[in-house]
Amino acid sequence: MINLEQLGVYLPQGYLFKNISVQINKGDKIGLVGKNGAGKSTLLKLIAGWDSPSEGKIHQSKDVSVGFLTQDIKIDTQKTVFNYLKDSNENLTKIRLRLEVINHELVTRTDYEADTYLNLLTELDELNHQYTILEGFSWEEKIETTLKGLGFSDEEIHRDLKTFSGGWKMRAELAKILVNKPDVILLDEPTNHLDIISIAWLENYLQKFEGAVIVISHDRLFLDNVTKRTLEISSGKIFDFPYPYSKYKLVREEELERLEDAKKQQDKDIKHTEELINKFRAKKNKAAFAQSLIKKLDKTERIEVESNAVARMKITFPLSVQPGKWVLEMHNMGKKYDQKTIFENISLTVGRGEKIALLGPNGVGKSTLLKRIMSEIDGDGTVSYGHNVQITYFAQNQAEALDPNKTIYETVDEVAKGEIRKDLRSILGAFLFTGEDVDKKVGVLSGGERTRLALCQLLLSPSNFLILDEPTNHLDIQSKEVLKDALKQYEGTFVVVSHDREFLQDLTNRIWDIENKTLKIHHFGVQEYLARKMQMETPKMQNPTVEIVQEKKEKSRSFEEQKDWKKKKNSLQNGLKKLEEEIESLEKKITLLDHDIATLDYSDEALSQAKLTEYETSKKSLDEKLASWEDFAMQLMELED
């Protein structure tokens, strides 16, 4: 589909990356990773055709369509959300408008025998056929389904897009891309503005999507669930791994360890060679030998190792004083805006040491509830704090409250207390502020950098009750790990709002769920909460008798029937396992062939034709294996049903 050949991007300070060659095929699900500033977003813009490379070429199959969701979208429209999507497909819009004209003419004209009238009937038939092929008659239904999957309510779908925040506009843009089904979908941090339910819906959509997907994300679980291949941009080069993120990370760390060992050995050899050169270059009878060593050294390709590890020091939130047995009490608490009730009649007590995740779709009032707890806004009922309670509150706009005239170091130094002040530079390093970075003014930092700094400042503020509203937004994976480790060690109480499932997993012992304008409390984990939420949308949950009928069917089977049933099931499961191994082997082979094709010398016709034939044969075999896998899986599903 798309072949990147020897791409390079040159900036005033040097190459961002150089000699990048990658083959992107139909059905590829790729995670694009690398440090901040490595060039991930730049590469997506090149693939989308938004920018041009300094050198190299991008080869694209004819008629390949690309949908690109960027972080800094700008939508200026007076249309409703629904109409913005409805009018987004030019072919469908053109056909629909022409159909309206033809239908109007057919109704108003009376010259039924005229050639022009008969031509209209012929054109009507052809356009209806095209409209059917393009799924035009289900277009509006697809739009509604996609918008609801991404969290829009029935009322919001028909509101003007200009009335929404940037995050909701991003959702509308994502929906527009999905409903148009491009051949390639490029997503730059798609989960940043999605709630936990919408992320699960998007995952499910992308897993079933037949085209290629390339995604940049700091959500490890999202990458693991969606992608099967990882591209890493590092030190101006690209590394291709046929694995999802977590497996890639393990393989990459092992590879970096080997490179580190090789670099140490190379550094020793270089040092030894330089010593010999210095020793012999002044001696006449050894000058030629010294020159040969110099030439050898000049030709040596230096091994470069870019460390991906953040300083994994133990960072903990300092506990100010020990509070009483309860830290927060809410009595008949509620909030209304005009005539709209956000929540009402919430009465509960929070005990010391509780670790709470506040969940629910965007717009149900999570941030509003936190602001009521903090008494930042008025409302019904009362809020009381326990004895010695000291709250530290991290709001979604916390980064904007930082003093732009202070340096990064000064910002954390003013809140740090006690022994921890000795480790300020190490702590800043854990949040990716290293070396001279710490002397930068806050005013020049990006939004993501400010968020990291605000969290670092929070870590150093003594408290015994933390309230955190979306603290993981704009954080990279490593910074989130630092924050999660600190929260796990925290001896106080916290309430956290986050859409990052892996961040929340094994972090909390309570879930607050805002549903139907009240607060429900659950005592199970985030994964179970999500599973229950998703099941509520399935027919099985709508008809709970299905499980009972299934159980009765199994009990009514005879011994011989059960034996035969298990035999068939084992056979299908073994077949599936074997096919999965063969598919994995073929995918690895095709990945290697992709690399070979990207660097082929097409002047050698025999070699290039042989490689292309081998590639096509492997792809055909993979398609056959995938079809067999689907057949086996369907048989197994029917057998279990």
Averaged over 175-187, what is the pLDDT? 93
Question: Which residues fall within 8 angstroms of residue 441, CB to CB, at 6 or more apart?
Answer: 404, 405, 406, 407
Tokens of 609: 């034709």
- pLDDT of the residue at 316: 67
Report the candidate in 395, 391, 427, 397 with the shortest Cα–Cα distance to residue 411.
427
Q: What's phi and psi for 441, nearest 5 deg?
A: -75, 145
Report the candidate in 20, 8, 15, 14 with the shortest Cα–Cα distance to residue 598.
20
446 has pLDDT over 90: no
Tokens of 54: 């300094």
- C-alpha 290/C-alpha 283 separation (Å) is 9
- C-alpha 313/C-alpha 306 separation (Å) is 19
368 or 112, which is more confident = 368
310 has pLDDT over 50: no
- pLDDT of the residue at 604: 75
- C-alpha 75/C-alpha 466 separation (Å) is 36
The mean-pLDDT minimum among 244-253, 324-333, 549-558 falls in: 549-558
Max intra-chain CA distance, the chain: 109
Averaged over 446-450, what is the pLDDT? 75
303 or 144, which is more confident = 144
- C-alpha 361/C-alpha 513 separation (Å) is 9
Averaged over 165-184, what is the pLDDT? 90
pTM of the model: 0.67
- C-alpha 27/C-alpha 184 separation (Å) is 9
First-to-final CA distance of the chain: 39
DSSP 133-201: HTTGGGHHHHHHHHHHHTT--HHHHTSBGGGS-HHHHHHHHHHHHHHH--SEEEEESTTTT--HHHHHH
- Residue that the structure tokens 């609801």 belong to: 148
Q: What are the residue ranges spanned by the domains of the chain? A: 1-65+182-242, 250-299, 326-535, 555-640
> In the CATH scheme, what is the code of domain 1-65+182-242?
3.40.50.300
The size of the chain, in residues, is 641
Q: CA 493: distance to chain centroid?
A: 29
Angular region, 525: left φ>0, alpha ψ -120 to 50, beta rest:
beta
Under the banding of pLDDT at 50, 70 and 90, the label for residue 306 is: low
Instruction: Let me know the angle formed at the C-alpha of 485 by 515 and 261, rounded to the nearest 5 degrees.
Output: 135
For the segment 333-348, what is each residue's pLDDT rounded down to a tens digit?
988 887 788 888 889 8
501 or 629, which is more confident = 501
Q: What's phi and psi for 16, nearest 5 deg?
A: -75, -45
> Could you give the C-alpha distances from 38 to 17, 330, 347, 482, 550, in angstroms and in order?
8, 47, 49, 21, 53
The mean-pLDDT minimum among 137-141, 242-246, 339-343, 540-544 falls in: 540-544
Averaged over 538-558, what is the pLDDT? 41
Class level of CATH domain 555-640: mainly alpha
> Could you give the C-alpha distances from 16 to 55, 58, 308, 488, in angstroms and in order?
12, 17, 18, 38
**Selection from 70-79, 492-501, 537-546 with the highest mean pLDDT:** 492-501
Bridge partners of residue 30, in order along the sequence = 214, 229
- C-alpha 266/C-alpha 301 separation (Å) is 10
Element (H, E) at 81: helix 81-86
Helical ranges in 181-238 per DSSP H: 196-208, 220-226
- pLDDT of the residue at 94: 92
pLDDT-above-90 percentage for the chain: 19
- pLDDT of the residue at 15: 86
Q: Is 546 exposed, middle or buried (0-12, 13-18, 19+ CB in 10 A)?
A: middle
The mean-pLDDT minimum among 46-60, 126-140, 556-570, 591-605 falls in: 556-570
- pLDDT of the residue at 472: 83
Tokens of 60: 């694209």
Pairing of strands 184-188, 66-69: parallel
Tokens of 581: 């191994």
- C-alpha 583/C-alpha 629 separation (Å) is 9
Bridge partners of residue 510, in order along the sequence = 356
Looking at the structure, give the CATH architecture of the domain made up of residues 326-535: 3-Layer(aba) Sandwich (3.40)
Count helices and strands (H / E) in the chain.
22, 18
Average pLDDT, the chain: 82
Contact 525, 350 (CB under 8 A): no
Question: Which residues fall within 8 angstroms of residue 500, CB to CB, at 6 or more apart?
Answer: 191, 219, 221, 472, 480
> Could you give the C-alpha distances from 89 to 177, 182, 416, 634, in angstroms and in order?
10, 11, 55, 34
SS (H, E, C) 310-355: CCCCCCCCCECCCCCCEEEEEEEEEEEECCEEEEEEEEEEEECCCE
Tokens of 197: 């339910």
pLDDT-above-70 percentage for the chain: 91
Element (H, E) at 522: strand 518-522
Q: Do domains 1-65+182-242 and 555-640 have the same CATH topology?
A: no
- Residue that the structure tokens 């993501």 belong to: 448
Bridge partners of residue 350, in order along the sequence = 328
- pLDDT of the residue at 545: 36
Instruction: Let me know the angle formed at the C-alpha of 290 by 288 and 295, rounded to the nearest 5 degrees.
Output: 95
Pairing of strands 391-394, 465-469: parallel
**E strands, 391-486, where?**
391-394, 465-469
- pLDDT of the residue at 600: 67
- C-alpha 42/C-alpha 34 separation (Å) is 12
